[in-house]
A and B are shown apart, each in its own frame.
Chain A
Amino acid sequence: MLRVDYPSLLPLSRLDLPVPDLGLAGAELATQDNATTGGFLGHRYALHSVTTTPEEAPEAFATLMDQGYRIVVLLAEGPEILALADAAPPDALLLNARETDEALRGEACRANVLHVAPSDQMLTDALAQFLVWKRWTDWALIHGSHPADHALAQAYEMSARRFGARIVEWREFVDTGGARVSDSGHVQVQRQIPVFTQNMARHHVVVAADASDVFAVYLPYQTWEAAPVVGSSGLRPVVWHAAHESWGAIQLQNRFEALAGRPMREEDHLAWLALRAVGEAVVRTNSADPAAIRAYLLGDAFNLAAFKGQPLTFRPWNGQLRQPILLTDGRITVSVSPQDGFLHPLSPLDTLGPDRPESACSAFEETAP
């Protein structure tokens, strides 16, 4: 497991403060789970975890390759994932457990990278389906000023078009820098946000596209109109959250908390998923060969139980894991997408994110049936 740590400011909410074992603890739990199963089959699993910086990532990766590791879970952003994928020896298999950028599954896809993390549009589609199910079809979209925010806003625009919602108002919240928090800062927030959201076209919800954690948490209860906030705060589409209990999830939460002494975060869950998928392939193929594992994961026989009420599988045309998305207010699971009534000829999970005909990925053509 290779985690790249990027320089960043502290989060707006101290509930989201970074933890030193982020993702690593999830990988550790998956390795324990795999080892328990392996114990009955004579299989052994070992996890080696490395954290690095973007500058030193190529060297750290090369060292792992020199040491003979060929299956690597990456908690990294797009540029590093692409660089490492292109530098990897031909028999290596990489699993992306963080980056949501659509391009990595599309025109920039790599045959040696499987994506356990959902793409931006899988997440925005999951939220859009719920909003359309609620008939909250008129959206005021507030996005940040960074490229990632613009990309997320585009994903929401695409989702709105796909499922019949309308973006009736666009606003940009410009990041002017400065400290993240100041004492009694809420006094100014309470005055500024209503003014910022004044005079918007009639809307049912405010959709926040804030990939950079600059403003979204300030929106709920502070908007001019009494509209719910969704997206980057309020009701959020997520892979996992610590209150999720259904489909036996409480067992995974308990196991993780006993191991790590803290709640499971999305990065931990994605790392767990990545290594559980690998473990499942090892059990079923009786092989530790990365090529055999990759072929099994992309094949029809693979499915993984992951506390989401239905099996997870990979899209063979771009290596993206199909998965239900949780919608949470931070306290509880409010709903789970795909929603009832959104149909697909192959799998309802393929109503989330770009479907095969829309895919610009060609690196999987040799292997996709």
Chain B
Amino acid sequence: MTGRAAALVLTATLLALGTVPDPAAAYRVFVSNERSNTITVIDSETWEVIAEFPGGNRPRGITIAPDGSELYVCASDDDTVRVFDPQTFEELHTLPSGPDPELFVLHPSGNPLYIANEDDNLVTVTDVRTRQILAEIPVGVEPEGMGISPDGRVVVNTSETTNMAHFIDTETFQIIRNVLVDQRPRFAQFTADGSLLYVSAEIGGTVSVIDPETGDILHRITFEVPGIQPELLQPVGVRVTSDGRRVFVALGPSNRVAVVDGESWEVLDYLLVGQRVWQLAFTPDERYLITTNGNSNDVSVIDVAAEQVIRSIPVGQQPWGVVVAPQ
């Protein structure tokens, strides 16, 4: 009897296990450490740091090919983009980027790369296969944020001193629209269906919700946390769930990530993360959002469904950017 009961319990346990969702897929998370000149690699199943490798001088913007074959890093003080093998962490080659590359965005097809050159008021378009510069597009003063529409037809650059989002046609390399936003726009993010564009303004303290078809600003998201100076609520990184329902905004020195309703644009919650949070990246399954916390030398992991911070992981010094490899 006893053995039979034990077997039943065991069966029940197995059934229970069978009903929970598949365990999280293990992804590799790459974090650029601006100060220590390294890239930290984290396993998203164990959340252990599995490697740290040299990333060039002052690595900031970081992204990965859609097929996971190449990792791209803006090595700002080297005036180049360094390309790494995401499996072996070997440096493969460099790409011409124009001076002081800070942030970039890859075409959804994996080529080309659109790079903001802060010092030259330019966006440089670089072919990642031929390693040639295809175009240099004059934009406003201090270009930084780069976003691309899901269909790849429009790339948006934000200029930090001009305070505009510049819409660039990716076929003609011409600016087709300029939208004035608030002070020091840092980041541009389209929704997955391309119907909305979110642009954060670090010093203005707002995120503009823009209709990309018309250029109209539909709404300005503002932030307020009791006990925190409004000047410290500085929006930088923005990520939107693929269903468009949730917008996550990194709020810099307020050490918080705002959770925003993607339809009403109400701020639902503020999640406490590490210090001076700037950039964000989802895991490809969107179960987790990873935040880079520059002044506490760590990344925070947010459970997206629960909208809770579940852990923090020490990385190198002054973590800046983050990207998660597809499987």
> A: which residues have CB within 8 A of B?
33, 36-37, 40-41, 248, 251, 254-255, 258, 276, 283-284, 303-305, 309-311, 347-348
Instruction: Tell me what chain B mostly uses at the interface: helix, strand, loop, or mixed.
Output: loop
Given A33-B141, A248-B160, A305 and B203 contact (CB-CB distance below 8 Å): yes
Asked whether B141 lies within 8 Å of A310 as measured between CB atoms, the reply is no
What is the number of contacts between chain A and chain B, taking CB atoms within 8 Å?
65
Q: Please report the total number of B residues contacting A with Cβ < 8 Å.
A: 27
Contact A40 B178 (CB under 8 A): yes
Cβ contacts B134-164/A at 8 Å (1 or 0 each): 0000001110000000000000000111111
Contact status B141-A305, CB under 8 Å: no
A258's closest neighbor in chain B, by CB?
B119
Contacts A36-B141, A37-B161, A305-B163 known; 20 new A-B pairs at CB < 8 A: A33-B162, A37-B141, A40-B178, A41-B178, A248-B118, A251-B118, A251-B142, A255-B119, A255-B141, A258-B119, A283-B163, A303-B183, A303-B203, A305-B204, A310-B203, A310-B232, A311-B183, A311-B231, A347-B231, A348-B229
Residues 155-191 of chain B: 1 if any A CB is under 8 Å from the residue's CB, otherwise 0? 0000111111010000000010010100110000000
Contact A37 B140 (CB under 8 A): yes
Q: Which residue of A36, A284, A310 contacts B140 across the interface (Cβ within 8 Å)?
A: A36
When the two chains form their complex, are residues B183 and A33 in contact, meaning their CB atoms are under 8 A apart?
A: no
A36→B121 contact, CB < 8 A: yes
B71 to chain A, nearest CB (A): 25
State how many angstroms separate the Cβ of B187 from the closest Cβ of chain A: 14
B204 touches A311 (CB 8 A): yes
A37 CA / B175 CA spacing, docked (Å) = 13
Output the nearest chain A residue to B161 by Cβ-Cβ distance.
A33
Query: Which B200-226 residues have C-beta < 8 A from chain A?
Result: 202-205
With A305-B183, A348-B231 known as contacts, the answer to whether A311 contacts B203 (CB < 8 A) is yes
Taking CB atoms, residues of chain A closer than 8 Å to B184 are 248, 305
Given the contacts A37-B163, A347-B231, A254 and B119 also touching, CB distance less than 8 Å:
yes
B183 and A304 within 8 A (CB): yes
Task: Name which residue of chain A comes closest to B119, CB basis.
Answer: A254
Given the complex of chains A and B, what is the CA–CA distance between A258 and B25 in angstroms? 50
CB of B120, distance to nearest CB on chain A (Å): 9
CA distance A258 to B120 in the complex (A): 10
Contacts A/B (CB < 8 Å), 30 sampled: A33-B141, A33-B162, A36-B121, A36-B162, A37-B140, A37-B141, A37-B162, A37-B163, A37-B164, A40-B162, A40-B175, A248-B142, A251-B118, A251-B142, A254-B100, A254-B119, A255-B119, A255-B141, A258-B119, A276-B161, A283-B163, A284-B180, A303-B183, A303-B204, A305-B163, A305-B183, A305-B202, A310-B231, A311-B203, A347-B231
B142 touches A40 (CB 8 A): no
Least distance between A275 CB and chain B CB atoms (Å)? 12
**For residue B100, which residues in chain A have a CB less than 8 angstroms away from its CB?**
251, 254
Name the CB-closest residue of B to A344.
Answer: B229
